[in-house]
Structure 1
Amino acid sequence: MQNWSIYIQHFKDFLRLERALSENSIEAYIRDVEKLSQFSELLAHQPSPENINERDVMDFLEYLNEIGLTATSQARMLSGIKAFYKYLAIENLIQNDPTQLIESPKIGRKLPDTLSFPEIERMLDVIDLSSPEGPRNRAILEVLYSCGMRVSELIELKITNCYFDIGFVRVFGKGRKVRLIPIGRDAVKYTNIYLENIRNHQDIDPESEDIVFLNRRGKKLTRVMIFLIIKNLAEQAGIQKNISPHTFRHSFATHLIEGGADLRAVQEMLGHESITTTEVYTHLDRVFLSETMRSFHPREYKYAMNKR
């Protein structure tokens, strides 16, 4: 890891002094290379900048694709990494450039749609909070976007697994694997409004007593119902994209990564255990995950700005 830090610092100096780029452009290049650096730590052989190979870089791009990063974002990130390795070659710090033969992702390739932050806010704004379903639907969208959870995890979310006092929820992912995810302040706020003002006044089916989100009959919501809620809100907001509950998971990951979040933290929050078959799974402490979400999630960033 030390070589990554040294080479990245030298690359930063090169961009500033030799290429005279703006600070914003420099930071964008550095963020791209740092993402590859973070990814290298997750691989079994943990390659240094000199030892990383073409397959490692391809695995990195495949992971970005897996979490829903658009082809445009992938291409931009690869461009930054290519510039880094071009610099290392100029300085004779590497013998082979692992990015030389890698082509940028095709921009026209169909990838999962991702919502921009303004589009997500538009969907939130069209929810009628005066209707019986309004507070519930607002809480559902806030939780999906705040936590990046799967729709199956959302409909199974239990009240006893919501630790709002410490800002975490516990979910059961694929293979019943348990993980703790940070939850944002807006998600907590609107979920509590729903629980206290709507759910508390429902007749609840005994089998759904501990389930957070219920339908009008007091039963657990279905995946189809969540899908229809989101499709309807997207239409009301005038969004012409193929939207599904999974879109919020993709948007969650994309906005965190593009904002500068650590790949390992995003991986942990998404519940992705395998980036590649040779990957070393890294468990991160809850403080680090919470700080990552608070620092890089757009819904949390506004709180930081308001405190200034």
Structure 2
Amino acid sequence: MALEKEDHPQFTIHKEIQGILNKYGQVQVEKELGSIGVLLTEPKNSKSKEMTLLEGAQHFLEDEFSTYQNVSPSSQSSYKSETRSFCKYFGVNIDKDISTDVLLKEVLTPQKLEDYLDQVAKTEATRRKKAAFLRTFIDSVARDLLSEKKINQLNKRALHLDNPDPQPPRAFTAEQIDYLLNLSRLTRCALRNYTILWTLVGTGMRVDELHFQIGDVNVKQGWIKVKAKGRKKRAKVKRYMTPGAIKAMKYYITFTYSHLMKVLKDNEYKNLYVFSDDAGSNPLSNRAIQKMVRGLIDTAIENNVIQDKVWDSDRGEEVKVNYSTHSYRHSFAIYALESGMDIYIVQKLLGHKSIASTEVYLNLFDEQYQKAIDKHPFAQLETDQLKHLGGDV
């Protein structure tokens, strides 16, 4: 004879369990069952713990919430290169989807990371760069794989970052800028190079902001719209020009592109890139601009107009100075502040999100400090009072 539903053991157990849940609540019941070794919930899927290094790399580069997807194109290029290098060290080719089934958790150990950095980072600067990348990589792909404690241990041991010695921005003096501008007029594509330098020093732009088009330039109002740093979909913002930069820009565009106004539609003309080596179809690359600027700086160093070594009083020795396209940005900022321009206005002109980034430029040249102290109200008093000493004092 078949059991009635009410008499079936499964129904009876179900009814009693439901009564206990109603009386004590699910949390308390699970807690009590757990204390005697009985779990109601299934263990977490271990799939994430078996993630391969290739899968981790693909997740980092493709997941919409990854840090990689939320940085500028230039930073993406750097991150991808670092990802490729890290995977290649462990025999994984991310470009051809070739994996040796290396598990991600196997390579994210202090010893493996230290071995990697020792092998590929020959200078402290390179080690810092690669360690900073690995911190970002781990934070993006290994939060479900490693405990917070283990991630902190990796950051403190293998990926430790010493604070570098603070170095003031290296800028050009007014005389050096004048020399470099004149030097650019002797180069191939002289007018273009001359205008690039005027744009750098007369706006404070970054090199990757020089990829603007004719339609982005308003010489009447003195500004250029450029793509802002820090976002994947980079909105255009205004960069204002000094009178010298406006004059150079107006002459260059007229001389280079005015003959195309009659043969191109208005939108086609406005879409031409201002700085180009193929008649405006494509922008001049960052590398080409940096190479041109580097050549001018090297010539100025050879001619003793620029010194590439300065005395560091803290270290008690000479240190090498690295000038670059960014030095024009430093120059723009430093001289703006020296002239008395409000630091918050300088922040807006440079496009800094934080005032802390602009405060770095409060470090002036030694000679600028001397000029400032010479203007102190006591300076003339001291001169008058010490005349009796004679000679130079």
TM-score scaled by length of structure 2: 0.39
Q: Which has the larger radius of gyration?
A: 2
Q: Which has the higher contact order (CA 8 A, sep 6+)?
A: 1
TM-score scaled by length of structure 1: 0.48
